[in-house]
Amino acid sequence: MRPDQKPDFYEILGVERDASADAIKKSYRRLAREYHPDVNPGDEEAESRFKEISQAYQTLKDPEKRGKYDQFGDAWDQAQQTGQWQQGDFRDFVQQQYGAGSFRDVFGDLFGDMGGGRGFTFASTGRSRVRPEPGPTRGQDVEYELPVSFEEAVHGAEKQISLTLADRCPECEGMGGETQTCPACGGTGQAQSGGGFFSLGAACQQCHGTGQVVTTRCKTCRGTGESSRSRRITVRVPAGVETGSKVRVRGEGGRGIATGPAGDLILSIHMQPHSTFEREGDDIRLELPVSFTEAALGGKVRVPTIDGNVTMTIPAGTQSGDQLRLKGRGVTHLGESGRGDQYVTISVRVPEKLSDEQREMLERFGESWSPDLRSSLGA
Protein backbone atom coordinates (compact mmCIF):
# COMPACT_ATOMS: atom_id res chain seq x y z
CA MET A 1 0.00 0.00 0.00
CA ARG A 2 1.35 3.46 -0.90
CA PRO A 3 1.91 5.87 2.03
CA ASP A 4 -0.90 8.11 0.74
CA GLN A 5 -3.24 5.23 -0.10
CA LYS A 6 -6.24 4.79 2.16
CA PRO A 7 -7.05 1.32 3.59
CA ASP A 8 -9.58 -0.66 1.60
CA PHE A 9 -13.00 -0.58 3.29
CA TYR A 10 -13.67 -4.24 2.51
CA GLU A 11 -10.36 -5.24 4.11
CA ILE A 12 -11.11 -3.09 7.17
CA LEU A 13 -14.38 -4.96 7.74
CA GLY A 14 -12.86 -8.31 6.80
CA VAL A 15 -15.41 -9.14 4.09
CA GLU A 16 -15.23 -10.01 0.40
CA ARG A 17 -16.08 -7.38 -2.22
CA ASP A 18 -19.26 -9.27 -3.11
CA ALA A 19 -20.36 -9.64 0.53
CA SER A 20 -24.06 -9.21 1.26
CA ALA A 21 -25.42 -6.29 3.29
CA ASP A 22 -26.15 -8.66 6.18
CA ALA A 23 -22.58 -9.99 6.16
CA ILE A 24 -21.22 -6.44 6.21
CA LYS A 25 -23.51 -5.46 9.07
CA LYS A 26 -22.62 -8.58 11.07
CA SER A 27 -18.88 -8.01 10.63
CA TYR A 28 -19.23 -4.35 11.59
CA ARG A 29 -21.06 -5.12 14.83
CA ARG A 30 -18.47 -7.70 15.83
CA LEU A 31 -15.55 -5.36 15.16
CA ALA A 32 -17.26 -2.35 16.72
CA ARG A 33 -17.83 -4.22 19.96
CA GLU A 34 -14.18 -5.30 19.97
CA TYR A 35 -12.61 -1.90 19.28
CA HIS A 36 -15.08 0.53 20.85
CA PRO A 37 -13.30 3.12 23.07
CA ASP A 38 -15.48 2.25 26.07
CA VAL A 39 -14.18 -1.31 25.87
CA ASN A 40 -10.59 -0.16 25.34
CA PRO A 41 -10.19 2.94 27.52
CA GLY A 42 -6.95 4.80 26.85
CA ASP A 43 -6.05 2.64 23.83
CA GLU A 44 -5.38 5.12 21.02
CA GLU A 45 -4.77 2.37 18.46
CA ALA A 46 -8.18 0.79 19.23
CA GLU A 47 -9.85 4.21 18.96
CA SER A 48 -8.25 4.81 15.56
CA ARG A 49 -9.31 1.34 14.43
CA PHE A 50 -12.88 2.00 15.60
CA LYS A 51 -13.03 5.18 13.50
CA GLU A 52 -11.84 3.28 10.42
CA ILE A 53 -14.43 0.56 11.00
CA SER A 54 -17.22 3.12 11.40
CA GLN A 55 -16.20 5.01 8.24
CA ALA A 56 -16.01 1.79 6.23
CA TYR A 57 -19.41 0.62 7.42
CA GLN A 58 -21.16 3.95 6.83
CA THR A 59 -19.97 3.76 3.22
CA LEU A 60 -20.55 0.09 2.43
CA LYS A 61 -23.95 -0.15 4.16
CA ASP A 62 -25.43 2.35 1.71
CA PRO A 63 -25.97 0.79 -1.76
CA GLU A 64 -25.42 4.08 -3.61
CA LYS A 65 -22.26 4.99 -1.69
CA ARG A 66 -20.97 1.44 -2.03
CA GLY A 67 -21.46 1.67 -5.78
CA LYS A 68 -19.54 4.94 -5.93
CA TYR A 69 -16.77 3.47 -3.78
CA ASP A 70 -16.53 0.43 -6.05
CA GLN A 71 -16.38 2.78 -9.05
CA PHE A 72 -14.02 5.50 -7.83
CA GLY A 73 -12.05 3.71 -5.07
CA ASP A 74 -10.04 6.15 -2.92
CA ALA A 75 -11.56 9.08 -4.81
CA TRP A 76 -15.15 8.23 -3.87
CA ASP A 77 -15.38 10.98 -1.23
CA GLN A 78 -13.96 13.51 -3.67
CA ALA A 79 -16.66 12.54 -6.13
CA GLN A 80 -19.21 13.17 -3.40
CA GLN A 81 -17.77 16.61 -2.62
CA THR A 82 -17.70 17.67 -6.27
CA GLY A 83 -21.45 17.47 -6.49
CA GLN A 84 -22.26 13.97 -7.67
CA TRP A 85 -24.12 13.30 -4.38
CA GLN A 86 -25.89 16.57 -3.64
CA GLN A 87 -28.76 15.41 -1.48
CA GLY A 88 -30.11 18.51 0.30
CA ASP A 89 -29.95 19.39 3.97
CA PHE A 90 -28.82 17.35 6.96
CA ARG A 91 -32.17 15.61 7.24
CA ASP A 92 -31.59 13.90 3.88
CA PHE A 93 -28.07 12.98 4.95
CA VAL A 94 -29.30 11.33 8.15
CA GLN A 95 -32.03 9.43 6.35
CA GLN A 96 -29.54 8.18 3.74
CA GLN A 97 -26.97 7.18 6.36
CA TYR A 98 -29.27 5.38 8.79
CA GLY A 99 -32.78 5.27 7.35
CA ALA A 100 -35.61 7.38 8.73
CA GLY A 101 -36.00 6.77 12.45
CA SER A 102 -33.31 4.12 12.54
CA PHE A 103 -30.91 5.68 15.04
CA ARG A 104 -32.33 3.35 17.68
CA ASP A 105 -31.63 0.31 15.49
CA VAL A 106 -28.05 1.24 14.60
CA PHE A 107 -26.83 2.50 17.97
CA GLY A 108 -29.19 0.48 20.16
CA ASP A 109 -28.03 -2.82 18.69
CA LEU A 110 -24.38 -1.88 19.06
CA PHE A 111 -24.41 -0.54 22.61
CA GLY A 112 -27.23 -2.78 23.82
CA ASP A 113 -25.30 -5.90 22.83
CA MET A 114 -22.29 -4.62 24.74
CA GLY A 115 -24.38 -4.68 27.93
CA GLY A 116 -25.20 -1.48 29.73
CA GLY A 117 -23.74 0.91 27.15
CA ARG A 118 -25.01 4.44 26.60
CA GLY A 119 -28.52 4.42 25.22
CA PHE A 120 -30.29 6.79 22.85
CA THR A 121 -33.60 8.52 23.46
CA PHE A 122 -35.80 10.73 21.34
CA ALA A 123 -37.26 14.03 22.50
CA SER A 124 -39.33 16.63 20.68
CA THR A 125 -38.39 20.26 21.42
CA GLY A 126 -39.70 22.02 18.35
CA ARG A 127 -36.88 20.50 16.29
CA SER A 128 -36.33 16.80 15.80
CA ARG A 129 -33.45 15.98 18.10
CA VAL A 130 -31.47 12.83 18.75
CA ARG A 131 -29.26 12.96 21.82
CA PRO A 132 -27.18 10.39 23.70
CA GLU A 133 -27.38 9.79 27.39
CA PRO A 134 -23.74 9.89 28.44
CA GLY A 135 -22.84 8.88 31.92
CA PRO A 136 -21.52 6.13 34.15
CA THR A 137 -21.80 2.55 32.94
CA ARG A 138 -22.64 -0.36 35.21
CA GLY A 139 -20.01 -3.06 35.58
CA GLN A 140 -20.44 -6.58 34.26
CA ASP A 141 -21.96 -9.37 36.31
CA VAL A 142 -19.52 -12.10 37.34
CA GLU A 143 -20.54 -15.77 37.76
CA TYR A 144 -18.85 -17.89 40.41
CA GLU A 145 -19.44 -21.64 40.93
CA LEU A 146 -19.94 -22.23 44.63
CA PRO A 147 -19.88 -25.76 46.07
CA VAL A 148 -22.03 -26.23 49.17
CA SER A 149 -22.58 -29.24 51.39
CA PHE A 150 -25.92 -31.03 51.62
CA GLU A 151 -26.50 -29.54 55.08
CA GLU A 152 -25.63 -25.99 53.91
CA ALA A 153 -28.09 -26.27 51.06
CA VAL A 154 -30.85 -27.46 53.40
CA HIS A 155 -30.31 -25.00 56.24
CA GLY A 156 -28.51 -22.11 54.53
CA ALA A 157 -25.06 -20.85 55.49
CA GLU A 158 -22.56 -18.03 55.38
CA LYS A 159 -19.45 -18.81 53.35
CA GLN A 160 -16.25 -16.95 52.62
CA ILE A 161 -14.98 -16.96 49.04
CA SER A 162 -11.92 -15.49 47.33
CA LEU A 163 -12.29 -13.43 44.15
CA THR A 164 -9.75 -11.90 41.79
CA LEU A 165 -11.36 -9.25 39.61
CA ALA A 166 -10.42 -6.11 37.73
CA ASP A 167 -10.94 -3.21 40.10
CA ARG A 168 -10.35 0.53 40.10
CA CYS A 169 -6.68 1.35 40.14
CA PRO A 170 -5.93 2.53 43.70
CA GLU A 171 -3.32 5.00 42.44
CA CYS A 172 -5.55 6.97 40.04
CA GLU A 173 -8.99 5.94 41.41
CA GLY A 174 -9.89 4.44 38.05
CA MET A 175 -9.36 7.66 36.06
CA GLY A 176 -6.29 6.41 34.18
CA GLY A 177 -4.05 9.22 35.44
CA GLU A 178 -4.13 12.93 36.09
CA THR A 179 -7.10 14.55 34.38
CA GLN A 180 -8.44 17.91 33.33
CA THR A 181 -11.68 19.19 31.86
CA CYS A 182 -12.04 18.07 28.26
CA PRO A 183 -11.24 21.08 26.00
CA ALA A 184 -13.33 19.67 23.15
CA CYS A 185 -16.66 19.56 25.00
CA GLY A 186 -15.98 21.82 27.99
CA GLY A 187 -16.73 18.98 30.39
CA THR A 188 -20.24 18.22 29.09
CA GLY A 189 -19.25 14.88 27.57
CA GLN A 190 -21.22 15.70 24.41
CA ALA A 191 -20.22 16.89 20.98
CA GLN A 192 -22.86 18.59 18.86
CA SER A 193 -22.85 18.42 15.07
CA GLY A 194 -25.27 18.73 12.21
CA GLY A 195 -27.44 21.44 10.78
CA GLY A 196 -30.64 22.14 8.93
CA PHE A 197 -33.66 20.39 10.35
CA PHE A 198 -31.70 17.95 12.54
CA SER A 199 -29.27 18.38 15.41
CA LEU A 200 -27.30 15.29 16.38
CA GLY A 201 -25.78 14.95 19.87
CA ALA A 202 -23.06 12.32 20.30
CA ALA A 203 -20.56 11.37 22.96
CA CYS A 204 -17.45 13.53 22.74
CA GLN A 205 -14.83 11.61 20.78
CA GLN A 206 -11.97 13.03 22.83
CA CYS A 207 -13.23 12.14 26.31
CA HIS A 208 -15.76 9.43 25.28
CA GLY A 209 -18.54 11.14 27.19
CA THR A 210 -16.76 11.44 30.57
CA GLY A 211 -16.05 15.17 30.36
CA GLN A 212 -12.45 14.57 31.48
CA VAL A 213 -9.26 13.80 29.57
CA VAL A 214 -6.09 12.20 30.90
CA THR A 215 -3.07 14.52 30.79
CA THR A 216 -0.55 12.16 32.40
CA ARG A 217 -1.05 8.40 32.32
CA CYS A 218 -0.97 6.52 35.59
CA LYS A 219 2.23 4.48 35.90
CA THR A 220 0.53 1.80 37.98
CA CYS A 221 -2.23 0.87 35.52
CA ARG A 222 -0.68 2.43 32.39
CA GLY A 223 -3.78 4.48 31.77
CA THR A 224 -6.32 1.66 31.84
CA GLY A 225 -7.78 2.70 35.21
CA GLU A 226 -7.87 -0.96 36.25
CA SER A 227 -5.82 -3.28 38.41
CA SER A 228 -6.38 -6.86 39.51
CA ARG A 229 -7.34 -7.21 43.13
CA SER A 230 -7.96 -10.32 45.21
CA ARG A 231 -10.41 -10.09 48.05
CA ARG A 232 -12.34 -12.32 50.41
CA ILE A 233 -16.00 -11.69 50.87
CA THR A 234 -18.71 -13.33 52.94
CA VAL A 235 -21.79 -14.46 51.04
CA ARG A 236 -25.08 -15.71 52.38
CA VAL A 237 -26.40 -18.98 50.94
CA PRO A 238 -30.16 -19.09 51.54
CA ALA A 239 -31.80 -22.25 52.86
CA GLY A 240 -33.35 -24.42 50.17
CA VAL A 241 -30.88 -23.94 47.31
CA GLU A 242 -29.89 -26.87 45.14
CA THR A 243 -27.60 -27.57 42.20
CA GLY A 244 -28.37 -25.02 39.49
CA SER A 245 -29.73 -22.37 41.85
CA LYS A 246 -28.48 -18.82 41.24
CA VAL A 247 -27.83 -16.42 44.10
CA ARG A 248 -27.24 -12.74 43.28
CA VAL A 249 -24.88 -10.72 45.50
CA ARG A 250 -25.40 -7.05 44.74
CA GLY A 251 -22.40 -4.86 43.91
CA GLU A 252 -19.71 -7.55 44.11
CA GLY A 253 -19.15 -8.02 40.36
CA GLY A 254 -17.05 -6.17 37.79
CA ARG A 255 -16.21 -2.54 38.37
CA GLY A 256 -18.25 0.18 36.69
CA ILE A 257 -16.97 2.55 34.03
CA ALA A 258 -16.67 6.29 34.72
CA THR A 259 -17.85 6.01 38.35
CA GLY A 260 -20.69 3.70 37.34
CA PRO A 261 -21.92 1.12 39.89
CA ALA A 262 -20.30 -2.29 40.11
CA GLY A 263 -22.03 -5.30 38.62
CA ASP A 264 -23.32 -8.20 40.65
CA LEU A 265 -21.76 -11.49 41.68
CA ILE A 266 -23.87 -14.45 40.54
CA LEU A 267 -23.31 -17.55 42.66
CA SER A 268 -23.99 -20.75 40.73
CA ILE A 269 -24.75 -23.37 43.38
CA HIS A 270 -23.40 -26.91 43.20
CA MET A 271 -24.76 -29.08 46.02
CA GLN A 272 -22.49 -31.95 47.03
CA PRO A 273 -24.04 -35.41 47.55
CA HIS A 274 -24.63 -36.87 51.01
CA SER A 275 -23.55 -40.34 52.14
CA THR A 276 -26.89 -41.07 53.84
CA PHE A 277 -29.61 -38.85 52.42
CA GLU A 278 -30.94 -38.26 48.93
CA ARG A 279 -32.80 -35.13 47.91
CA GLU A 280 -35.90 -35.04 45.75
CA GLY A 281 -37.08 -31.46 45.38
CA ASP A 282 -37.74 -30.29 48.93
CA ASP A 283 -38.14 -33.84 50.26
CA ILE A 284 -35.40 -36.04 51.68
CA ARG A 285 -35.27 -39.80 51.23
CA LEU A 286 -33.54 -42.39 53.40
CA GLU A 287 -33.34 -46.19 53.29
CA LEU A 288 -33.63 -47.62 56.81
CA PRO A 289 -32.53 -51.21 57.53
CA VAL A 290 -34.66 -53.02 60.17
CA SER A 291 -34.44 -56.52 61.53
CA PHE A 292 -36.85 -59.33 60.75
CA THR A 293 -38.30 -59.19 64.28
CA GLU A 294 -38.64 -55.35 64.23
CA ALA A 295 -40.61 -55.56 61.02
CA ALA A 296 -42.76 -58.45 62.24
CA LEU A 297 -43.42 -57.25 65.80
CA GLY A 298 -43.20 -53.46 65.26
CA GLY A 299 -41.67 -51.06 67.74
CA LYS A 300 -39.79 -47.78 68.08
CA VAL A 301 -36.50 -47.23 66.27
CA ARG A 302 -34.00 -44.35 65.97
CA VAL A 303 -33.93 -42.70 62.56
CA PRO A 304 -31.30 -40.19 61.35
CA THR A 305 -32.57 -36.87 59.89
CA ILE A 306 -30.79 -33.78 58.67
CA ASP A 307 -31.56 -32.25 62.08
CA GLY A 308 -30.30 -35.23 64.10
CA ASN A 309 -31.75 -38.55 65.26
CA VAL A 310 -35.49 -38.87 66.01
CA THR A 311 -37.67 -41.74 67.23
CA MET A 312 -40.07 -43.32 64.74
CA THR A 313 -42.67 -46.05 65.26
CA ILE A 314 -42.49 -49.11 62.99
CA PRO A 315 -45.94 -50.72 62.64
CA ALA A 316 -46.13 -54.47 63.23
CA GLY A 317 -46.08 -56.40 59.98
CA THR A 318 -44.09 -53.76 58.06
CA GLN A 319 -42.84 -55.10 54.75
CA SER A 320 -39.57 -54.40 52.98
CA GLY A 321 -40.11 -51.45 50.59
CA ASP A 322 -42.83 -49.82 52.70
CA GLN A 323 -42.44 -46.03 53.10
CA LEU A 324 -42.99 -44.07 56.27
CA ARG A 325 -43.14 -40.27 56.41
CA LEU A 326 -41.54 -37.86 58.87
CA LYS A 327 -43.48 -34.64 58.31
CA GLY A 328 -41.51 -31.38 58.17
CA ARG A 329 -38.09 -33.08 58.28
CA GLY A 330 -37.17 -32.18 54.70
CA VAL A 331 -35.64 -29.13 53.02
CA THR A 332 -36.65 -25.55 53.77
CA HIS A 333 -38.72 -24.13 50.90
CA LEU A 334 -36.49 -21.60 49.10
CA GLY A 335 -37.76 -18.10 49.77
CA GLU A 336 -40.80 -19.40 51.66
CA SER A 337 -41.72 -20.70 55.08
CA GLY A 338 -42.15 -24.37 55.84
CA ARG A 339 -40.23 -27.47 54.91
CA GLY A 340 -40.62 -30.63 52.90
CA ASP A 341 -40.84 -34.11 54.41
CA GLN A 342 -38.50 -37.02 54.94
CA TYR A 343 -39.55 -40.36 53.48
CA VAL A 344 -38.11 -43.48 55.08
CA THR A 345 -38.01 -46.63 52.93
CA ILE A 346 -37.94 -49.82 55.02
CA SER A 347 -35.39 -52.47 54.14
CA VAL A 348 -36.02 -55.73 56.09
CA ARG A 349 -32.77 -57.58 56.69
CA VAL A 350 -32.79 -61.40 57.02
CA PRO A 351 -30.01 -62.97 59.15
CA GLU A 352 -27.35 -64.63 57.02
CA LYS A 353 -26.04 -66.95 59.75
CA LEU A 354 -28.06 -68.75 62.43
CA SER A 355 -27.08 -70.73 65.50
CA ASP A 356 -28.55 -74.19 66.00
CA GLU A 357 -30.94 -72.81 68.60
CA GLN A 358 -32.10 -69.99 66.32
CA ARG A 359 -32.60 -72.36 63.42
CA GLU A 360 -34.69 -74.68 65.59
CA MET A 361 -36.84 -71.75 66.77
CA LEU A 362 -37.46 -70.57 63.19
CA GLU A 363 -38.33 -74.08 62.03
CA ARG A 364 -40.97 -74.37 64.74
CA PHE A 365 -42.23 -70.93 63.78
CA GLY A 366 -42.40 -71.93 60.13
CA GLU A 367 -44.48 -75.00 60.99
CA SER A 368 -46.97 -72.87 62.89
CA TRP A 369 -47.14 -70.15 60.20
CA SER A 370 -47.42 -71.49 56.70
CA PRO A 371 -49.40 -69.00 54.54
CA ASP A 372 -49.87 -69.64 50.83
CA LEU A 373 -47.77 -66.68 49.67
CA ARG A 374 -47.42 -67.72 46.02
CA SER A 375 -50.90 -68.83 45.10
CA SER A 376 -51.59 -65.55 43.33
CA LEU A 377 -48.65 -66.26 41.02
CA GLY A 378 -50.02 -69.66 40.04
CA ALA A 379 -47.08 -71.41 41.70
Question: What is the reported pLDDT for 173?
Answer: 66
Question: What is the reported pLDDT for 124?
Answer: 32
Question: What is the reported pLDDT for 77?
Answer: 59
Q: Which of 142-146, 212-216, 300-304 has the lowest mean pLDDT?
A: 212-216
- Order across the sheet with 120-124: list the strands: 120-124, 128-132, 198-203, 190-195
- How far is residue 339 from each of residues 16, 245, 283, 324, measured CA to CA in Å? 62, 18, 8, 17
Section 345-370 average pLDDT: 90
| Residues forming beta bridges with residue 147, ordered by sequence position | 270
Question: What is the reported pLDDT for 45?
Answer: 84
pLDDT tens, residue by residue, 158-203: 999 988 877 777 777 667 778 788 888 877 777 755 444 444 456 7
pTM of the entire predicted model: 0.51
pLDDT tens, residue by residue, 111-153: 444 444 333 333 333 333 333 344 567 888 889 999 999 999 9
| Residues forming beta bridges with residue 310, ordered by sequence position | 303
Residue 248 CB partners (closer than 8 Å, separation 6+): 264, 265, 266, 267
Specify the CATH architecture of the domain 278-369.
Sandwich (2.60)
Question: What is the reported pLDDT for 327?
Answer: 96
Q: What is the DSSP string of 63-128?
A: HHHHHHHHHHGGGHHHHIIIIIT---SHHHHHHHHH-TT-HHHHHHHHHHHHSS---EEEEESSSE
Q: Which residue has the higher pLDDT, 185 or 296?
A: 296
With cut-offs at 50, 70 and 90, classify the pLDDT of residue 222. confident
Q: Which of 271-275, 313-317, 334-338 has the lowest mean pLDDT?
A: 334-338
| Residues forming beta bridges with residue 148, ordered by sequence position | 271
Virtual CA dihedral for 212, 218, 220, 224, nearest 10 degrees?
A: 40
With cut-offs at 50, 70 and 90, classify the pLDDT of residue 296. very high
Mean pLDDT of the chain: 77
Q: Which residue has the higher pLDDT, 166 or 269?
A: 269
Question: What is the reported pLDDT for 236?
Answer: 94
Question: What is the reported pLDDT for 355?
Answer: 94
Q: Which of 46-50, 123-127, 146-150, 359-363 has the lowest mean pLDDT?
A: 123-127
288/221 Cα distance (integer angstroms)? 62
- Order across the sheet with 142-148: list the strands: 142-148, 265-271, 246-249
With cut-offs at 50, 70 and 90, classify the pLDDT of residue 74. low
Q: What is the DSSP string of 179-235?
A: EEE-TTTTTSSEEEEEETTEEEEEE-TTTTTSSEEEEEE-TTTTTS-EEEEEEEEEE
Q: Which of 152, 139, 97 is nearest to 332 (CA)?
A: 152
pLDDT tens, residue by residue, 240-265: 999 999 999 998 888 776 667 888 99
Question: What is the reported pLDDT for 181?
Answer: 82
Q: What is the DSSP string of 339-357?
A: B--EEEEEEEEPPS---HH
146/266 Cα distance (integer angstroms)? 10
Virtual CA dihedral for 86, 92, 97, 98, nearest 10 degrees?
A: -170
- How far is residue 174 from each of residues 52, 113, 180, 289, 345, measured CA to CA in Å? 28, 24, 14, 63, 60
Section 98-107 average pLDDT: 41
